[in-house]
Chain A
Amino acid sequence: MPELLKLTTKDFKTDQEVRWCPGCGDYAILAAVQGFMPSLGIAREDIVFVSGIGCSSRFPYYMNTYGLHSIHGRAPAIATGLAASRPDLSVWVVTGDGDALSIGGNHLIHALRRNVNLKILLFNNRIYGLTKGQYSPTSELGKITKSTPYGSLDAPFNPVSLALGAEATFVARTIDSDRKHLTSVLQAAAEHQGTALIEIYQNCNIFNDGAFENLKDNSVRDRHLIRLEHGQPIAFGAEDERYGIVRMPDATLKVVPLEQAGDSVLIHDAHAPEPDLAFALSRLPDPATLSPTPIGVFRDVTRPTYDQLMADQLDDAARKLGSGKLAELLTGSDTWTIS
């Protein structure tokens, strides 16, 4: 019974020394997740954190739940097998931009379309950290790194756009340092039935410091951040300079001064059956400045989960055919007997 569980943040900490670089954004995310977990009312033994490879993927070692630190890119596949065979568990995947979008891109998109009951935390720092500073699939075009001294040549992925295109039922974005917002998004993801993808902008202070400074700096962030809330107008800006998002006749979105927009400011609908508004919102930011960046829940719709459908098929089969009898199966219908 959840109400009888009196767990605290401390219950979710392990005795392992946390081995991220001092100042890494991962610390803030870890603290937020550990602080959030007791509110779930789920016993520690029924929670599993699965990760791949990369800085973020050390996360399970620091959560006092069941944990599996696997191999590069494969966490969504491994977690799919776990969640599909154990629908009773709360399964969380921790991954990074390289792990999820480069080597593990295939598993990510298929987990999303299947709607397995997984909560995927994608720490996006737009750089490879553990391998010491190569560009990642979310790095901006022309990024100068150790492996791209003349600038990177490949256009980046937008993880939210990608997830929406992969039939995801829940897609959100948040920021490592905004604990309150991060917690609210975790809450919404936990309540969602099926795969939830949360992109967390996370600062790598060693190899890509300040990548999200516009979105984190208290003095300027309001000018660049759109806080999406279901049922609320999509608006942002500093007190003296507010903007609203409106849809143009050609269906594209446009940022206009709020007073000018009037009633035509779009109302956010995270539960819209089609993801077109969510997708359009994901395309708003200028790739170079990341302004304006919507954070919050882009999409949250209901679709049967893979693990439940799989369990239902087993139950149906048992109901229709009876629980399987091994001797009957082995004998089959086409036998002969030697006496």
Chain B
Amino acid sequence: MTKQVEKVDRVIIRFAGDSGDGMQLTGDRFTSETAAFGNDLSTLPDFPAEIRAPAGTLPGVSAFQLHFADHDILTPGDAPDVLVAMNPAALKANLKDVPRGGTVIVNTDEFTPRALTKVGYAADPLEDGSLDGYKVHRVALTTQTVKVLEGFDISRKDAERAKNMYSLGLLSWLYHRPTEATVTFLEKKFAKKPTIAAANVAAFRAGWNYGETTEDFVVSYEIAPAPMPQGTYRNIHGNLALAYGLIAAGHQSGLPLFLGAYPITPASDILHELSKHKNHGVRTFQAEDEIAGIGAALGASFGGALGVTTTSGPGIALKGETIGLAVSLELPLVICDIQRGGPSTGLPTKTEQSDLLLAMFGRNGEAPVPIVAPRSPADCFDAALEAVRIAVTYRTPVFLLSDGYLANGSEPWHIPDVADLPEIAPNFAAGPNKVHEDGSEEFWPFLRDPETLARPWAIPGTAGLEHRIGGIEKQDGTGNISYDPANHDLMVRTRAAKVAGIAIPDLEVDDPSGEAKILVLGWGSTYGPIQAACRQVRRGGQQVAHAHLRHLNPFPANLGRILKEYDRVLIPEMNLGQLSMLIRARYLVDAVGYNQVRGLPFKAAELAEVIKNLIESDAVAKVGV
């Protein structure tokens, strides 16, 4: 039979299964195929903290959502058009997110009475009508995979495990994905086990062929490549982009990169990645604890390296004292906080933006630290470079506030031309900087650059600049210990002025009509959902402006003026109003918060509703006046 081909402009697919079903790998492969095909895309892995949660249970469900389109998209999508459910738990946990009319592909082999009971299904949802209204494809994924692999000299367990590749093959057929790269990937991944490699490739191809031949699937879909600016692209996750940004900053500054880190979700991948690149002069130190991680990084900075530490919220809580020391020593240091749900251990694998005030204030004393936040997975690259620029130029620790969604999410990245990357100049001190009245010269470690207020960075090995610095208050200029009240007041104010005076670009506002009355202000990973929501609102004929902060300390110089240009300011955050608090305190603006801490990014449609309601209530209020 000839199958129909339908053209669609975008699709959201969610793969869901047991933690051990290989859903993340399946999603990653489908993403790579989609990236290679040239669609715009955005991904959202969503998995439990347990490595192998009890099989077949709701907490053990691991999912991967991918949104791809023939046009520019910003989020992994609100609701899946297609759900691939590898077992009853995956169906039960995810079906509520699929709108009626959506497609559900289920692995019928796993719908046994026992598996159904385990997740609380009284009756088989495939039979009792609860899937009415969905396009349901019942596929015996396990049986069919095992059958295909009968001729292979592998265990039944290994054959069953290849069912994820069978499903990937089927979906690849359904959406016309290129397959060569997946075959190459499997051959490489299982290079040491050629039989397993061949079996997985066979399962993958069989899944494709099943789609091609079965009458169950009568339509396949085409999503044309998205128009994107000229250039070379790759798909990239936030943590990888962040690691690359740090390596690039090492090259651009000529400073050897030193990472001191303790493993923690969702930051560990940065440690893993950086540890691969020793030929770029990158040193990685897996420390005995979070405190040693940042301590070693700070020690390396004292020695003239680019000291970096990577962690998540619980780690920041432990590093606080050392961050304060870095503030006091005025040495470059980059602190990457890949935020996750808190407090305490919280939700290790889920995203949240709730460390903003911790980054801003979480130290004893007046200890200002600049804060930079990336807005998308690929943007982690540029944000890392910016954090390093500030750290090195101003001799200060800098927070890079990413989060779990950015860390594990991915999108196409326009690979930059290395020649276009910013130069970062360490400008090490080379000689004395203080001339006394009698003409004698001396090195003063706290004699500042009058413009940036940065102190000189004199590294060991430089003759004549030997000096001693510490966490005790220092005399302005000489850096000698000083308990003098006026000097302490001066030093506290000078450190604050240095951070407040950091040169950063003005904030840009996205307000295409120029007639918006409502401004949506965001920071960090909410960029995609907020921008998508604003576009939805505008498509509906209403006007809204969007501004997104990369710098949270200091704020852009024009932020206050922008805030006052709008009747209302809406601040959506994945916390209970931390940026709102800063904005209200600093600018006396009656900002409205929209806050969620569900461990997942905002849904664009939901935000669009919030914006529309605000526009309408604002209009009503004005009429009332």
A residues engaging B (CB < 8 A)?
A: 14, 16, 43-51, 60-61, 63-72, 74, 77-86, 88-89, 106-107, 110, 310, 313-314, 316-318, 320-324, 326-327, 329-332, 334-339
Contacts and interface: CB of A to CB of B under 8 A. Distances in A.
Return the 6 tightest CB-CB contacts between A and B, nearest first.
A69-B470, A81-B296, A81-B299, A324-B280, A77-B295, A67-B468
A316 B278 CA distance: 9
A44 B279 CA distance: 31
Interface stretch (B118-126, B225-233, B542-550): B225-233
24 contacts: A16-B480, A44-B466, A45-B465, A61-B468, A68-B329, A78-B295, A78-B299, A84-B300, A86-B460, A107-B295, A313-B278, A314-B278, A317-B279, A330-B244, A330-B415, A331-B415, A334-B36, A334-B181, A334-B235, A336-B35, A336-B233, A337-B232, A337-B233, A339-B230
A338 B292 contact: no
Contacts of A83: 299
A77 B466 contact: no
Interface string B246-289: 01100100001010100000000000000001111111010111
Given A45-B461, A110-B292, A336-B36, 16 more contacts: A43-B463, A66-B468, A67-B467, A68-B468, A70-B471, A71-B322, A74-B292, A74-B322, A81-B258, A81-B260, A81-B303, A107-B295, A326-B280, A327-B418, A331-B234, A334-B234
Contacts of A61: 468, 470, 481
Nearest to B36: A336
Contacts of B460: 45-48, 66, 82, 86, 89
B470 A70 contact: yes
B354 interface: no
B472 interface: yes
A84 B277 contact: no
Contacts of A310: 283, 285
A338 B38 contact: yes
A81 B469 contact: no
Among B181, B228, B229, B481, residue most surrounded by chain A Cβ atoms (within 10 Å): B481
Nearest to A108: B288
B297 interface: yes
A82 B235 contact: no
Contact of A82 (B248, B277, B287, B302): B302
Nearest to A62: B468
A66 B321 CA distance: 22
B115 interface: no
A194 to B, nearest CB: 16
Contacts of A330: 244, 248, 415-416, 418
B418 A77 contact: no
Contacts of B235: 334
A44 B244 CA distance: 37
Contacts of A16: 468, 480-481
A60 B244 contact: no
Contacts of B321: 71-72, 74
B296 A80 contact: yes
Among B229, B285, B296, B464, residue most surrounded by chain A Cβ atoms (within 10 Å): B296
A330 B32 CA distance: 16
Contact of B283 (A314, A316, A339): A314
Contacts of B418: 326-327, 330
A14 B467 CA distance: 10
B283 A85 contact: yes
B202 interface: no
Nearest to A310: B283
A85 B232 contact: no
Interface string B415-454: 1111000000000000000000000000000000000000
A331 B36 contact: no
Contacts of B233: 335-338
A268 B288 CA distance: 34
B63 interface: no
B466 A338 contact: no
B211 interface: no
Given A46-B460, A69-B468, A106 B288 contact: yes
A297 to B, nearest CB: 26
Interface string B231-244: 11111000000001
A285 B359 CA distance: 50
B304 interface: yes
Nearest to B257: A85
B277 A329 contact: yes
B51 to A, nearest CB: 26
A44 B277 CA distance: 33
Contact of A89 (B234, B288, B303, B329): B303
A322 B280 CA distance: 9
B229 A338 contact: yes
Contacts of B248: 326, 330
A314 B256 CA distance: 11
Contact of A85 (B35, B228, B256): B256
A334 B32 contact: yes
Contacts of A327: 417-418
Nearest to B418: A327
Interface string B589-625: 0000000000000000000000000000000000000
A329 B299 contact: no
Nearest to A339: B230
A82 B285 CA distance: 11
Contacts of B295: 70, 74, 77-78, 80-81, 107
Contacts of A50: 299
Interface in B343-369: none
A71 to B, nearest CB: 5
Nearest to A48: B460
B583 interface: no
B471 A322 contact: no
A43 B481 CA distance: 25
Contacts of B469: 67-69
Contacts of A79: 299
Interface string B462-504: 1111111111100000001100000000000000000000000
Contacts of A336: 35-36, 38, 232-234
A89 B298 contact: no
A65 B302 contact: no
Contacts of B287: 77, 110
Among B234, B235, B288, B465, residue most surrounded by chain A Cβ atoms (within 10 Å): B288
A324 B282 CA distance: 10
